[in-house]
Structure 1
Amino acid sequence: MTRALGSGKLVIATHNAGKLREISALLAPHGVDCVSAGALGLPEPAETGRTFVANALIKARAAAEASGLPALADDSGLSVEALGGRPGVYTADWAERQWFEGDPGRDWYMAMGKVEGLLQQQGPDTSRACAFHCVLALAWPDGEHAIYEGTVAGQFTWPPRGDLGFGYDPAFVPEGREHTFAEIDPSEKHGISHRANAFAKLRADQFGA
């Protein structure tokens, strides 16, 4: 086991409300009090890494150093087989920032449309196999850290379906299922997602659960 986190306050290095809700729900049974980097007014560091691990560490370390608290960062993304693994670490960048009622957000429908457009260019018989990847980086203010990785395979579908998820969830059908991540109840998704896979490893290591 790595250094024990225990209960108490944990900074979730994100400004994404949907991601904060999902992570908070996964850690709630262990008495962890989650607060987002956005709520603390922490800036978003430049994600200059070329892997999910590198970017997760950048975010976790920045939040831990700025807050003086343990911090957890999630770097996740979609890799599409026929696109050579793209968008990969650039998953969020494919969703260009827009402004809605004064708040910056990302246009995820645009991002999903880019994937669909590239797949259509390759013809109707192109494989739609894809996978969601998640890397969790847990960092302490003194520099110690731990890494946990998870993945889930599936198919990219079009048009997007459902409004229960976020990001690319409406276009992702997990292997062995008929509904997209955005059509599946969040409590069920928590048990099968790439993030759930990574969190299972974190919980086993940190809480023995």
Structure 2
Amino acid sequence: MLKRIVLASGNAGKLREFSQLFNSWDIEVLPQSELGVSDAEETGLSFIENALIKARHASRISGLPALADDSGLAVDALGGAPGIYSARYSGEGATDARNNSKLLEALNGVEEARRSASFHCALAFVRSFDDPVPLVCSAQWRGRILDKPAGEQGFGYDPLFFVDSEGMTSAQMPRELKNRISHRAQAVAAFESMWREMMLGAHLAK
């Protein structure tokens, strides 16, 4: 049976990636903008906390089950920064270009061996805004930060995030490759397994 869920995100890049990742599912994923859901205030201290805040907010307003993602970049030499502040790293009115510039400034003089980093993605799914047992999963994708951007694909910090196993940045990867190995792809795969277990349990309980 087709399920309708709301995707709690206003980020155009994330919406594109999620639409591709969920393309083969028997789920209708609706962006929150179509349902009049505004962005939630992200007051959590971790990716998982913020994902739950956004999922509950979207479900409360839309009346639908909601899936939320909170993701970002953690650079080891910067103590995990920008972390949960990745999207607004450069302050009010932050853009991808400004965030990338600030990151390069912060890593100025840091040698290549110490520029390791990871993309993190936390997913939270709630059947209702007060769901006491939300589905939560997370994944990370290891790489390192270059000293200048490379590639035109993707969004955010993708042009600076170099994946050694592929010999290219996330922004240089073909869409099909990124959608198979990225932090978001890994988190969606984990969520799919949890989702199918939940649906099977609901079916057996009837």
Deviation at 1:92, TM superposition (A): 0.9
Match of 1:107 among 95, 105, 112: 95
Deviation at 1:24, TM superposition (A): 1.7
Please report the TM-score for the alignment, with normalisation by the length of structure 1: 0.87
Structure 2 residue aligned with 1:79? 74
Structure 2 residue aligned with 1:192? 181
Q: Distance in 2 between matches of 1:159 and 1:70?
A: 41
Distance 1:8 1:123, change over 3 A: closer
Is the 1:70–1:141 contact (alpha carbons within 8 Å) kept by the matching residues of 2? yes
Is the 1:119–1:126 contact (alpha carbons within 8 Å) kept by the matching residues of 2? no
Structure 1 residue 63 and structure 2 residue 51: aligned?
A: no
Is the 2:135–2:194 contact (alpha carbons within 8 Å) kept by the matching residues of 1? no
CA distances 1:86-120 after superposition (whole Å, capped 9, x unpaired): 0011111114454xxxxxxx411111111111111
The one-letter code sitting in structure 1 at the alignment partner of 2:147 is W
Deviation at 1:40, TM superposition (A): 2.0
Structure 1 residue 171 and structure 2 residue 166: aligned?
A: no
Query: What secondary structure, in the 3-state scheme, does the structure 2 residue paired with 1:10 have?
Result: strand
Q: Distance in 2 between matches of 1:165 and 1:7?
A: 29
Is the 1:163–1:183 contact (alpha carbons within 8 Å) kept by the matching residues of 2? yes
Structure 1 residue 181 and structure 2 residue 170: aligned?
A: yes
Provide the identity percentage: 38
Deviation at 1:142, TM superposition (A): 5.0
Q: Distance in 1 between matches of 2:147 and 2:17?
A: 24
Q: Distance in 2 between matches of 1:43 and 1:8?
A: 22
Query: What secondary structure, in the 3-state scheme, does the structure 1 residue paired with 2:180 have?
Result: coil
Query: What secondary structure, in the 3-state scheme, does the structure 2 residue paired with 1:191 have?
Result: helix
Is the 2:9–2:31 contact (alpha carbons within 8 Å) kept by the matching residues of 1? yes
Deviation at 1:50, TM superposition (A): 0.4
Aligned pairs, how many? Answer: 195
Please report the TM-score for the alignment, with normalisation by the length of structure 2: 0.88
Structure 1 residue aligned with 2:114? 127
Q: Distance in 2 between matches of 1:123 and 1:73?
A: 34
Structure 2 residue aligned with 1:40? 35
- For the aligned residue pairs, the C-alpha RMSD in angstroms reads 1.7
Structure 1 residue aligned with 2:125? 138
Distance 1:31 1:50, change over 3 A: same
Structure 1 residue 11 and structure 2 residue 6: aligned?
A: yes
The one-letter code sitting in structure 1 at the alignment partner of 2:78 is L
Stretches of structure 2 that go unaligned for 5 or more consecutive residues are: 198-206
Stretches of structure 1 that go unaligned for 5 or more consecutive residues are: 1-5, 99-105
Higher helix share: 2
Q: Distance in 2 between matches of 1:26 and 1:152?
A: 16
Query: What secondary structure, in the 3-state scheme, does the structure 1 residue paired with 2:124 have?
Result: strand
Q: How does 1:152-167 map to 2 (within 5 A)?
A: 152-167=141-156
Structure 2 residue aligned with 1:50? 45
Structure 1 residue 30 and structure 2 residue 25: aligned?
A: yes
The one-letter code sitting in structure 1 at the alignment partner of 2:95 is D
Deviation at 1:174, TM superposition (A): 1.9
Match of 1:117 among 80, 87, 105: 105
